[in-house]
């Protein structure tokens, strides 16, 4: 039986110690800005990105990895005797899954599985960690895939953006489009639903929006233990750590990560975004 290797993309925001522990392969997406291409988290740091975003008259765009990068990664893992499970950002907001599928088709599809996480950021990361644990326990290719698909059904992510402007410009606004008319007067509360961004609620102040976000996560987290969670932010570390304390008090999670949105996701949500991801029963 082959060992199962785990592949993900740079938007999963896995802690470096997790990547090292489970030998997870991370394929970077890219930010395109004023004609220059930057690999996510490698060629431009998060602080550099948000500083430039606040001062630049132009906005960046983003690009999925080319199929060739996945093919090179998959080929090396197969040659080393591994089967491969790639767990990636939702196809509803990125072409990354499609690139991976192209690479899979050119190699040995029987030994490579592509899993659309139907979500993004550290919510995808929670799926990746669950699958990596299963692989480390000696799980087969199909057992690891089953774990990743189970994680899809047991994960919720709710987030508050400071403004809908960035999602609107990037074309990722999805079901939140109905909030556009009042976007300057509200703090939109959004979620990932069936792989796309959907509106949940709206509040007048950030304080109330964050309170509502916690209420929504409590409704979605159910009572099935263990609960594993992440607080995610874009250039809002103080608010993120305050939110972390509230999550610890409210949920007592088995694991709790704090992750900052890197340039690729930051391009679409803008600074000041806060999110909570929760995976229960795994």
Res. 197 pLDDT band, cuts 50 70 90: confident
* 224-272 pLDDT, tens digit each: 789 999 999 999 999 999 999 999 999 999 999 999 998 988 888 888 9
- For 44-84, what is each residue's pLDDT tens digit? 888 889 889 888 888 899 999 999 999 999 999 999 999 99
pLDDT of residue 266: 86
The Cα–Cα gap between 6 and 82 comes to 10
Number of H helices, E strands in the chain: 10, 13
Looking at residue 65, what DSSP letter applies? P
The two structure tokens encoding residue 219: 């409704």
Helix (H/G/I), strand (E/B), else coil: 179 = helix
The answer, yes or no, to whether residue 6 has pLDDT greater than 80, is yes
CA gap 115, 130 in Å, rounded: 13
d(CA 273, CA 222): 25
Predicted local confidence at residue 262, as pLDDT: 85
Instruction: Give the number of C-alpha atoms closer than 13 A to the C-alpha of residue 36, restricted to the C-beta side.
Output: 8
DSSP bridge partners of 71: none
48-65 b/e with 16+ CB inside 10 Å = b? ebbeebeeeeeebebbbb
Bridge partner list, 9? 27
The C-alpha atoms of residue 35 and residue 261 are separated, in whole angstroms, by: 22
pLDDT of 171 > 60? The answer is: no
129 vs 112: CA distance, rounded Å? 18
The two tokens of residue 243 are 């939110």
Task: Please state whether beta strands 155-160 and 187-193 pair in parallel, antiparallel, or not at all (unpaired).
Answer: antiparallel
The sign one gets for the Cα dihedral 198, 243, 229, 24 is positive
Give which of 22, 230, 254 is closest to 134, Cα–Cα: 22
CA distance 113 to 97: 11
Rounded Cα–Cα distance for residues 178 and 166 (Å): 15
Tokens at 280, concatenated? 């229960």
E strands within 64-111? 83-88
Residue 7: per-residue pLDDT: 98
The residue-averaged pLDDT of 206-231 equals 89
**pLDDT at position 177:** 45
Whole-number percent of the chain with pLDDT over 90 = 70
The answer to whether the pTM exceeds 0.85 is yes
pLDDT recorded at residue 166: 60
- Distance (Å, whole) CA 234 – CA 214: 18
Band of residue 199 on the pLDDT scale cut at 50, 70, 90:
confident
> Whole-angstrom Cα distance, residue 53 to residue 32?
13
Mean predicted confidence (pLDDT) in 202-224: 87
Q: For residue range 103-159, what is the model confidence (pLDDT) as tens digits?
A: 999 999 999 999 999 999 999 999 999 999 999 999 999 999 999 999 999 999 999
Quickly state the pLDDT bin for 164 (edges 50, 70, 90): low
Q: What is the mean pLDDT of residues 213-234?
A: 90
């Amino acid at each position: 039986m082959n060992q199962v290797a785990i592949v993900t993309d740079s938007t999963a925001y896995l802690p470096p110690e997790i990547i090292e522990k489970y030998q997870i392969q991370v394929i970077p997406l890219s930010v395109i800005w004023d004609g220059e291409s930057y690999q996510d988290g490698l060629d431009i740091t998060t602080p550099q990105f948000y500083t430039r975003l606040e001062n630049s008259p132009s906005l960046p765009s983003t690009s999925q990895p080319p199929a060739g990068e996945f093919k090179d990664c998959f080929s090396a893992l197969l040659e080393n005797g591994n089967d491969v499970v790639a767990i990636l950002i939702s196809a509803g907001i990125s072409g990354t899954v499609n690139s991976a599928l192209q690479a899979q088709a050119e190699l040995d599809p029987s030994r490579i599985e592509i899993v659309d996480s139907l979500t993004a950021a550290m919510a995808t990361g929670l799926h990746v960690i669950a699958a990596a644990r299963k692989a480390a326990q000696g799980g087969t290719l199909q057992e690891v895939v089953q774990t990743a698909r189970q994680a899809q059904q047991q994960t919720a992510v709710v987030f508050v953006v400071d403004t809908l402007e960035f999602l609107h410009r990037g074309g990722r606004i999805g079901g939140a489009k109905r909030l556009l008319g009042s976007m300057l007067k509200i703090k939109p509360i959004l979620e990932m639903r069936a792989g796309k961004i959907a509106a949940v609620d709206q509040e007048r102040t950030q304080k109330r929006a964050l309170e509502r976000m916690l209420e929504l996560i409590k409704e979605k987290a159910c009572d099935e233990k263990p609960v594993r969670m992440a607080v995610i932010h874009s250039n809002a570390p103080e608010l993120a750590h305050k939110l972390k304390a509230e999550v610890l008090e409210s949920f007592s999670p088995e694991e709790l990560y704090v992750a900052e949105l890197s340039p690729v996701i930051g391009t679409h949500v803008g600074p000041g975004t806060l999110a909570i991801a929760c995976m229960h029963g795994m």
